[in-house]
């Protein structure tokens, strides 16, 4: 019940604050109105109604000041109309419509019908003039300025003549030309991207489809992943695993410019043509291999190094203390109380680490020029660590510490680490459920995955347009 009571009280307070704020704005609006500051007064009346739309004084005030604002704007409109200032007339009437819409939620403001007739007359003339200017700009290939005027026309009349079509043309024609220029400059990926954007806005625009298809055909990188080698004989399977991961990764990349040659077909060709993959590093041998395989990019890789470290979990017997309570009696008050004491104990702390280190080189070789276009040596280390404590007593009362000499009781000179952080750190080790190290195979698999992903990223991000 108390919760409901406080909630109701809070709601009343909030409503009261809203009403109070509304009245304050209304009073300010009235003072501004009396001082002849009509526009500012309307703004305060509007704020008052936004806080409390039942504020009658604010509603009356907004009706008066808002109507004055509209009449003032319409007077400016008529003056512009009288001297055939088309632009001024059109935008002054638009300003009046904006005011009517802004205040319309709270009060109804009137625009005499004859003003709409004058506006329609002016709008036709103004739009015809702007239309002619925009068309001249489009003809002169001043696309940006033409586009701005077409946009203005559409904002005033969304169905005016063929402006929608011309507006699209003013935007996509310069794009189309950039695409054509990119194709001529052999920037095929850029051309493909631009023509895709053009076609998205206007399907079947000029020769955009043709350029897009030709750009893809000319710029597509057909990749042959040659057999990965290894300098680590005891881990010969690593090379083939990385190679398979790279092939799978590249196939999953959603890039139309990348195509990976089917591995089984490639192996058959290599076998038939007696190609020595190991000697295919660059130059003429790379060009010949590319021609035979139908590829314009060759990928080579080699496992240069592999090592492991650690793997053993060792336990160390450590000194500590366990607290306990001793019941005591106060000789004066005869009341009982408990005194905390400490006894010397031992616990065992286990710690171990296992690491796998891998070093792999990859090369991207152009089968068109024989040049190595990208090469790198990737190094990856994956580790696992365990650290836990085994204690047969009550670990909630266990403290790390150090002592010397014999005996199980606490003695002067003994050190007990009682701080919260020290005790919490020890408790975490006791409660740790991780008590085994990940296997070498698990860590190696993680390293392979990371290296393969990095190779795939390097290949897929290679952009001939930037080279």
Residues of the chain with pLDDT under 70: 1-20, 263-282, 467
Residues with Cβ within 8 Å of residue 112, at least 6 apart in sequence: 74
8 A C-beta contact, residue 90 and residue 126: yes
Pairing state between β 415-416 and 398-402: antiparallel
Rounded CA separation 313/226 (Å):
41
Which residue in the block uniquely carries the two structure tokens 């319309």? 104
Q: What is the pTM of this model?
A: 0.73
State the CB neighbour count (10 A cutoff) for residue 417: 15
Rounded CA separation 148/131 (Å):
11
pLDDT tens column, 413-430? 999 999 999 999 999 999
8 A C-beta contact, residue 370 and residue 307: no
Q: Strand pairing partners for 336?
A: 329
pLDDT value, residue 331: 86
| CA distance to 357, 373, 432, per residue, from 310 (Å) | 12, 38, 20
3-class DSSP string for 74-108 = HHHHHHHHHCCCHHHHHHHHHHHHHHHHHHCCCCC
3-class DSSP string for the chain = CHHHHHHHHHHHHHHHHHHHHHHHHHHHHHHHHHCCCHHHHHHHHHHHHHHCCCCHHHHHHHHHHHHHHHHHHHHHHHHHHHCCCHHHHHHHHHHHHHHHHHHCCCCCCCCCHHHHHHHHHHHHHHHHHHHHHHHHHHHCCCHHHHHHHHHHHHHHCCCCCCHHHHHHHHHHHHHHHHHHHHHHCCCHHHHHHHHHHHHHHCCCCCCHHHHHHHHHHHHCEEEEECCCEECCHHHCHHHHHHHHHHHHHHHHCCCCCEEECCHHHHHHHHHHHCCCHHHCCCCHHHHHHHHHHCCCEEEEEEEEEEEEEEEEEEEEEEEEEEEEEEEEECCCCCCEEEEEEEEEEEEEEEEEEEEEEEEEEEEEEECCCCCEEEEEEEEEEEEEEEEEEECCCCHHHEEEEECCCCCCECCCCCEECCCHHHHHHHHHHHHCCCCCCCCHHHHHHHHHHHHHHHHHHHHHCCCHHHC
pLDDT value, residue 364: 94
pLDDT value, residue 293: 83
pLDDT tens column, 25-56? 999 999 999 999 999 999 999 999 999 999 99
pLDDT value, residue 134: 96
pLDDT value, residue 268: 62
Which residue in the block uniquely carries the two structure tokens 């080579």? 300
8 A C-beta contact, residue 365 and residue 277: no
pLDDT value, residue 433: 95
């Amino acid at each position: 019940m108390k919760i409901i009571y406080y909630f109701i009280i809070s709601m009343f307070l909030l409503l009261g604050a809203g009403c109070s704020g509304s009245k304050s704005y209304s009073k300010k609006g009235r003072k501004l109105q009396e001082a002849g500051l009509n526009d500012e007064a309307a703004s305060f009346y509007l704020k008052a109604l936004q806080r409390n739309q039942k504020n009658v004084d604010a509603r009356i005030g907004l009706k008066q000041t808002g109507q004055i604002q509209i009449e003032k704007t319409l007077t400016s409109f008529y003056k512009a109309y009288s001297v055939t200032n088309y632009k001024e007339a059109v935008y002054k009437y638009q300003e009046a419509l904006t005011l009517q819409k802004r205040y319309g939620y709270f009060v109804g403001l009137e625009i005499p019908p004859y003003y709409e007739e004058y506006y329609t007359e002016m709008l036709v003339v103004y739009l015809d003039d702007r239309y002619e200017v925009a068309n001249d700009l489009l003809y002169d290939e001043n696309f940006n300025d033409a586009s701005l005027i077409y946009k203005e026309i559409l904002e005033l009349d969304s169905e005016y003549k063929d402006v929608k079509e011309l507006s699209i043309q003013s935007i996509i024609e310069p794009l189309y030309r950039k695409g054509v220029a990119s194709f001529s400059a052999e920037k095929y990926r850029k051309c493909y991207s631009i023509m895709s954007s053009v076609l998205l806005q206007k399907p079947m625009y000029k020769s955009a489809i043709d350029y897009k298809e030709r750009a893809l055909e000319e710029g597509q990188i057909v990749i042959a992943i040659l057999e990965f080698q290894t300098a680590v004989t005891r881990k010969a399977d690593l090379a083939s695993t990385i190679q398979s991961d790279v092939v799978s990764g590249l196939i999953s990349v959603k890039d139309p410019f990348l195509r990976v040659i089917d591995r089984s077909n490639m192996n058959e060709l290599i076998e038939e043509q007696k190609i020595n993959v190991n000697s295919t590093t660059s130059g003429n041998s790379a060009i010949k291999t590319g021609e035979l395989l139908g590829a314009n990019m060759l990928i080579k890789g080699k496992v240069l190094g592999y090592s492991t470290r650690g793997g053993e979990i060792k336990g160390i017997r450590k000194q500590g203390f366990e607290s306990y309570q001793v019941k005591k009696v106060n000789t004066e008050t005869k009341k009982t109380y408990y005194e905390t004491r400490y006894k010397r104990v031992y616990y065992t702390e286990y710690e171990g680490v296992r690491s796998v280190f891998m070093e792999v080189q990859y090369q991207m070789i152009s089968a068109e020029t024989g040049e190595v276009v990208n090469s790198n040596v990737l190094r990856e280390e994956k580790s696992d660590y365990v650290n836990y404590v085994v204690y047969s007593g009550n670990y909630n009362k266990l403290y790390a510490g150090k002592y010397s000499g014999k005996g199980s009781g606490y003695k002067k000179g003994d050190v007990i680490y009682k701080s919260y952080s020290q005790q919490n750190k020890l408790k975490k080790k006791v409660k740790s459920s991780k008590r085994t190290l990940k296997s070498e195979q698990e860590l190696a698999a993680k390293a392979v995955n990371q290296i393969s992903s990095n190779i795939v990223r390097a290949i897929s991000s290679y952009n001939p347009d930037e080279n």
